[in-house]
Amino acid sequence: MTTKHLRQFKDALKQDSLRMTSQRLAILDDVLGSEEHRECDDIYLSLRQKKVPVSRATIYRTLDILEKAGFVRKMDIGDGRFRYENKLAQTHHDHMICLKCGKIIEFMDREIERRQDQIASDNGFHLVKHSHQLYGLCGACQDLPAAEDQSAPASKA
């Protein structure tokens, strides 16, 4: 974490009339130390492992601030649970999301990016950002038997 990031974080907290605390600092540190797409709960567990006493409410609130300040990307993958990823460590990418196991695969395709820019400009549209989320089944889940077979009560005599 650089001093620039620290200052940015402090300013963002101040805008919400919040102070920098060791807990909030630990949340930022945890977020910047990960390259996964994690739920609030994952971050909560990670902090507990580090013996940081922090509530889920504080994590949620801090994540919102980190999102506003551009530290994290908040992803709605359609299952009602937001995922957060470290935005600073990464260049732009989009996501494929497995509907069965929740696996998230990142991709970046220059041609898609280029076409998007072109389509926007053809329409006189000033593009600020975009997000692609492709939904389907990952390789491992395609190989599994249908879900009904697995969850059905054992009926073998």
- The site for Zn ion (CB under 5 A) is made up of 85, 98, 100-101, 103, 106, 138, 141
CB of 93 to Zn ion, least distance (A): 5
Q: Which two tokens stand for residue 47?
A: 């902090």
- Alpha-carbon distance of 71 to 8, in angstroms, equals 9
- Give whichever of 25 and 77 is closer to Zn ion, judged by the CB atom: 77
Closest to Zn ion by CB, 6 or 101: 101
Q: How far is the CB of 130 from Zn ion (least distance, A)?
A: 14
CB of 107 to Zn ion, least distance (A): 9
The CA distance from 138 to 142, in Å, is 6
First to last CA, the chain: 60
**Which residue lies nearer to Zn ion by CB, 63 or 98?**
98
Tokens in use for 38? Answer: 């994690």
Residue 133 CB, nearest approach to Zn ion (Å): 10
CA gap 2, 52 in Å, rounded: 21
**In the complex with Zn ion, which residue's Cβ is closer, 10 or 67?**
67
Angle between helix 3-15 and helix 22-32 axes, rounded to 10 deg: 120
